[in-house]
Amino acid sequence: MDFVTGLPPTTNNLNMILVVVDRFSKRAHFIATRKTLDTSHLIDLLFRYVFSYHGFPRTITSDRDIRITAGKYQEFTRRLGIKSTMSTPNHPQTDGQTERTIQTLNRMLRAYDSTDIENWHKYLPQIEFVYNSTANRTLGASPFEIDLGYAPNEPVLKTDEELNARDFSAVEMSRRLKAITLQAKERLEAAQVEMEVNNNKGRKPLILERGDDVLVHRDEYFPFTLVPSTSSKKSMTTLMKSD
């Protein structure tokens, strides 16, 4: 859990996003709020947008924001049986999943036209839907599929050429949502590719040849009755050519 700040204020003075990511499924919630958010309001947002849909987590990992280090929040999580853990100042990767999600969200937010920058909060739910319905390149499935077991239907977003439109404002909204959806998907896919490239920098393909020594997990290859009892579950073995 973390916050996205530095956003232009909306027409109703929203200028911050609360980001909550499930560690297992990678499903995320993007909740528009204000920098003046206090601990009581934070707890209310968690109940309204997270706990009411998913139940109560066993652990919440976050940075050392004053709203989270406050005694009220710590008492709240303790009484609900939630372990509150925090990333260390010199090791923010403790909450790396949320950090990566925020990087992706920032890219997706750039899909907005600069003339409509004050209304980013109106399209945040659509961005959240796109994020959760797009397959994760590492897991091979979308956060929705991992969390729910199925992929929710995506909107058709028909234009006025496909409908006998009676309300032009509805047509404009449909067009806008379609444009935002396409742009957000493009930026999300680009962000995933960029992260994959960055993660693979400096990595060399592993090439093994006959006679090389490799470290393997013994339980996967040898019956436990044939393995002497030691503190290590790994052992060195030499590659042999199979017939």
Domain residue ranges of the chain, discontinuous segments joined by +:
2-201
What is d(CA 133, CA 143) in angstroms, rounded to the nearest whole number?
6
CA pair distance 33, 243, nearest whole angstrom: 64
Contact 1, 62 (CB under 8 A): yes
Confidence (pLDDT) at 216: 64
Superfamily of domain 2-201 in the CATH hierarchy: Ribonuclease H-like superfamily/Ribonuclease H (3.30.420.10)
Angle, CA 172 vertex, CA 167 and CA 173 arms, to 5°: 100
Q: Tens of pLDDT along the chain (243 residues)?
A: 999 998 999 989 999 999 999 999 999 999 999 999 999 999 999 999 999 999 999 999 998 888 998 889 999 999 999 999 987 655 545 557 788 899 889 888 876 655 578 889 988 998 999 999 988 877 789 999 999 999 998 877 665 555 565 665 666 666 777 777 777 777 777 767 766 666 566 666 667 777 777 766 555 455 544 444 444 444 445 554 444
Instruction: Specify the 3-state DSSP secondary structure of 112.
Output: coil
pTM value?
A: 0.71
pLDDT value, residue 107: 83
Place of tokens 């006959």: 210
| pLDDT value of residue 213 | 74
Residue-level pLDDT at 230: 46
Q: What is the pLDDT of residue 242?
A: 46
Q: Report the C-alpha gap between 241 and 239 in whole angstroms.
A: 7
Give the distance, in angstroms, between the CA of residue 28 and the centroid of all CA atoms in the same chain.
5
